[in-house]
Structure 1
């Protein structure tokens, strides 16, 4: 009796697990039958082509089969067969990105990991993001692709005073890492592998150095950078541009030349993301280009408290918020921007200015809306991959419509919600009047109304003319906690170098 029971149990498990397991081991192909063709007819077709049937798949009206190459060729001509697919291996989407291993909280704060590890697996692959900044160190392993090649696919200098495309300053490399850094590309066994990942870790980067080697830049340099992004949009599939920079001169968006260039990029199908600034609620805090332009996505900073829990996120008191001189409420969105850890350009000024901000030898922790903007730029890159037909207005509208409430003035971007909507939102930029330098028919700069011609993007023809202001690479950094420091005066282009090191 005992022996009979054991045999029965073995037989039962054989019925449940045996054929499926055997089919997985033996089947080389999956055959789907045309509508109305029975499994028996399909079996006969496979046998007639000199193949073998390993199992039936009623759920798809198909068969698991073993097909030599000549049998597959014969079967492909049978009118009863809808398709023949290889029985390829599969792997979990979570193999590469393990959110529990991340040493930073900001990807979780905007729900980027669920997007990476979803069935669609949006990671920004194939999307170009232009970073108009102080350059990007494309040699860092965090910017490699799966084959070991750099995802910094172009490196351009628009400041004639720069002597190298390298990021000697470090701001641009830090920004680029927030957008598309990926430490899973580090060698196997590296303890830092998988700990620091940007929002769109497979996106390509177009490094546009709009500063000299010391980090000083001008409005004209940034305009040339935007011109390059427009001119080479198709070459590098540039769908997003990040501007963690602001003019030091406040001017209406209707006449400001940097706003005009940002709008030109927008009208050419590029999502333009700009930092809102670090001036808090001070008068005029959101009146500087390009963050004051109603067409761009202006981004303020959330403090995620360094935790993956989203309930403790709050709008940072030092992050600019208010109404522009033209009556527009800014910023449009918020994203984590306090104590953000990202890629460090080796030997750059960023690390030398704050040695205590260096993390794990290869990364740097700083904060500011300069760091919040690339979070949103990275989310825009995820959307561009998942929904390549969406317009800049639809991207901006959807990001705003799906953002979540946080304590403070501005809602925080939500990557998972934005990418999952059935239909994009629209209308965020409806009814706006373009900058006076824009030709409304083409979206181009009207050269007859502008003081500069079509840029040569590498070698501006004349020296900087009076009236062009120095760019403001604003950032609030950790390390010091001095209440007397004035974070409203931070300026990477300033000779006085007044910043608040804010833990």
Structure 2
């Protein structure tokens, strides 16, 4: 144990972040998601202290039924109104209530709190190799590709027929595994094997017919995420037989996958908590969730509460940081018992060019699958926002023209443009919302490309200077690697400081999350009705399963390590320089500061980019457990009632963390100085793990 003056910490290769900032209430930007219709009643998650159950009830279920009958009396059968009961990662139940009923329920004896259910949203041929994973040596060789470790994915379901979930060369799952695959219409248990060892579904919030839901993926997100984490080796994989061709593998190719479908068009907290419960009971080693609903205090975050229970049982939890960058303090899933992952780029591009009438060539990216031949120069027209205007495009406006507009990463506007007779589409992200240099490859249905914001501004300047601006496309329809600087923190990746706990660094690490190839359901069509077995998409959703896979490799080599030790290994060995041996850049760092891309700070990149081979042998680790996290909650000045949401037997804060929140034994430091303080002393304890048996 060592006490260190905060002024000296940066000399010891740890993070000292000196910051003064104010906390603001934040909500997720959900304008790109389907709207929910208001209802007279809503789903609520009722947190109960099971230790306070009155003795006259035979079971918790009977007590819960009684609570509903008393505080929400209705003619319907009370027991049928409870959607889920929770008894593993937390205690309580989910039920539909009116606002008045929820308020009455919250006053009942033994009820700790009542939370209105939140809506959450879903947030690799090259990427494993870019992280240093090599099939012939290194981390994969040392850990037998993570064989036997079980990763529980909570997402939109899975497409079991994908080649990425074949079990060639895998032995049976371990005897202690309790999971299974459900048998429902359209999903037969025979579809599971020694790779896909579990598949269940949870959608009681929207499904009220009592039927067993199917874990089949109808959106694509879950299949993509699962194969990124633990997809089997698939030779000659690529998107639409053209892009990123090579051998596809997950980060832990021999790890096993258990899918818990809890997301459809929306993800509801009550369903997700039920999925977490099931994953823990089944015996997963790792839970990976590429979901988020915006920052919130931990005592109001049902996922944080449930995942506290999962971590307490030794399960490593990895979560997406969110896609709300580059603004500060938008990071979510930020509790210290979670490993929070931001997104970075890899050294792979899908180049496409736009040649202006002036002769200037602007380089962008595109997944358009046909080379544009003989189109010549086409007229350019500006449409300020694809999102707002695409539905109203008419042939008179766009026939035979290239439309230039802002977008947030979707090609659905290309279909509308094609239907109106448009000849091409040029998009970029909105610099006020995402990054200054965030060109993302999209599978356009007609000639189209995305430009960085800087190139887009050059295009607009040309259009403003010419009475008849024109341009032409050229597409290589190819994949280029090792020519661009990488990793770079993606502009969309959510940043700190951590709004829920200012002196806890989040995100923890970054991992590949931009233009990631992974498995895709053939029944889930891309824009224009096109189908593919592998798709390229971006987001912290894609970064998260990379870290889940690396954690599986660590778990394989060190089965006795706690979740905190695995997190520590990932963080203390992460890299802060790119493939050019220069500081990792931040695509969002120029927002409001000019046009020069700047080095990423720990608020954007956390400890840095994951390096699997080094993470297997970190030398020293920072460990923490339930008692430490309860002390952390005490340091946040949470009330005893709020802390009992996490630890039902909690009485009062008897211990204090030296240094407050910043005193948690965590592999990073964030120090907030007030005007009266210029020196703070913090303490950390490290454990040597270099020796056999550790």
Shorter-chain TM-score bucket reads 0.5 to 0.7
Of 316, 319, 324, the residue aligned with 1:271 is 316
Q: From the superposition, tell whether residues 274 and 438 of structure 1 become closer, same or farther in structure 2 (CA, over 3 Å).
A: farther
| Partners of 1:142 and 1:186 within 8 A in 2 | no
What CA deviation, in whole Å up to 9, does each residue of 1:11-56 have, x standing for no partner? xxxxxxxxxxxxxxxxxxxxxxxxxxxxxxxxxxxxxxxxxxxxxx
2:518 is the counterpart of 1:342: yes
In 1: Cα distance, 2:249 partner to 2:146 partner: 13
Q: Which has the larger radius of gyration?
A: 1
In 2: Cα distance, 1:208 partner to 1:106 partner: 25
| TM-score normalised per structure 1 | 0.59
Shift of 1:336: 0.6
Shift of 1:136: 1.3
In 2: Cα distance, 1:231 partner to 1:183 partner: 29
Shift of 1:120: 2.7
| Partners of 2:493 and 2:540 within 8 A in 1 | yes
2:134 is the counterpart of 1:113: yes
What CA deviation, in whole Å up to 9, does each residue of 1:222-264 have, x standing for no partner? 111111122121xxxx11111100024x321133211111111
2:398 is the counterpart of 1:222: no
SS in 1 for 2:542: helix
After superposition, where does 1:389-400 map in structure 2 within 5 Å?
389-400=560-571
The equivalent residue for 1:139 is: 161
| Partners of 1:304 and 1:313 within 8 A in 2 | yes
How many residues of Structure 1 are paired with residues of Structure 2 in the alignment? 328
| Partners of 2:157 and 2:260 within 8 A in 1 | yes
Of 206, 225, 230, the residue aligned with 1:175 is 225
In 2: Cα distance, 1:126 partner to 1:203 partner: 5
Shift of 1:380: 0.3
| Partners of 1:255 and 1:437 within 8 A in 2 | no
Q: From the superposition, tell whether residues 107 and 134 of structure 1 become closer, same or farther in structure 2 (CA, over 3 Å).
A: same
The equivalent residue for 2:95 is: none
Of 620, 636, 648, the residue aligned with 1:446 is 648
Of 470, 490, 493, the residue aligned with 1:319 is 493
| Partners of 1:208 and 1:225 within 8 A in 2 | yes
2:362 is the counterpart of 1:301: no
Shift of 1:183: 3.5
Greater strand share, structure number: 2
The equivalent residue for 1:426 is: 622
Of 210, 214, 224, the residue aligned with 1:164 is 214
| Partners of 2:299 and 2:642 within 8 A in 1 | no
Shift of 1:312: 2.7
2:207 is the counterpart of 1:152: no
| Partners of 1:397 and 1:426 within 8 A in 2 | yes
Shift of 1:266: 1.0
Shift of 1:323: 1.5
The equivalent residue for 1:499 is: none
2:255 is the counterpart of 1:203: yes
SS in 1 for 2:526: helix
Shift of 1:122: 3.1
SS in 1 for 2:277: helix
Q: Alpha carbon RMSD of aligned pairs, Å?
A: 3.4
The equivalent residue for 2:505 is: 329
SS in 2 for 1:300: strand
SS in 2 for 1:329: coil
Shift of 1:193: 9.6
What CA deviation, in whole Å up to 9, does each residue of 1:284-337 have, x standing for no partner? 411x3xx12122010001111313579532111221111222213211000010
What CA deviation, in whole Å up to 9, does each residue of 1:265-292 have, x standing for no partner? 1111111000001111325411x3xx12
In 2: Cα distance, 1:254 partner to 1:441 partner: 7
What CA deviation, in whole Å up to 9, does each residue of 1:401-437 have, x standing for no partner? 000003323100000111134x451247794436679
Shift of 1:174: 0.3
The equivalent residue for 2:554 is: 383
| Partners of 2:229 and 2:548 within 8 A in 1 | yes
Structure 2, unmatched stretches of 5+, are 1-123, 171-192, 208-212, 349-480, 577-583, 586-599, 652-694
In 2: Cα distance, 1:209 partner to 1:332 partner: 26
| TM-score normalised per structure 2 | 0.43
| Partners of 2:320 and 2:543 within 8 A in 1 | yes
In 1: Cα distance, 2:539 partner to 2:528 partner: 15
| Partners of 1:264 and 1:438 within 8 A in 2 | no
SS in 1 for 2:327: coil
| Partners of 1:219 and 1:247 within 8 A in 2 | no
Of 254, 261, 265, the residue aligned with 2:306 is 261
In 2: Cα distance, 1:378 partner to 1:169 partner: 22
2:288 is the counterpart of 1:242: yes
What CA deviation, in whole Å up to 9, does each residue of 1:37-79 have, x standing for no partner? xxxxxxxxxxxxxxxxxxxxxxxxxxxxxxxxxxxxxxxxxxx
In 1: Cα distance, 2:548 partner to 2:528 partner: 26
The equivalent residue for 1:374 is: 545
Shift of 1:150: 4.8
Q: Once structures 1 and 2 are overlaid, which stretch shifts more, 393-402 or 178-187? A: 178-187
SS in 2 for 1:200: coil
SS in 2 for 1:403: coil
| Partners of 1:386 and 1:419 within 8 A in 2 | yes
| Partners of 2:643 and 2:650 within 8 A in 1 | no
Q: Once structures 1 and 2 are overlaid, which stretch shifts more, 366-375 or 252-261? A: 252-261
Highest relative contact order (Cα 8 Å, sep 6+), 1 or 2? Answer: 2
| Partners of 1:132 and 1:225 within 8 A in 2 | yes
SS in 2 for 1:113: coil
2:152 is the counterpart of 1:123: no
Shift of 1:119: 4.9
Q: From the superposition, tell whether residues 278 and 444 of structure 1 become closer, same or farther in structure 2 (CA, over 3 Å).
A: closer
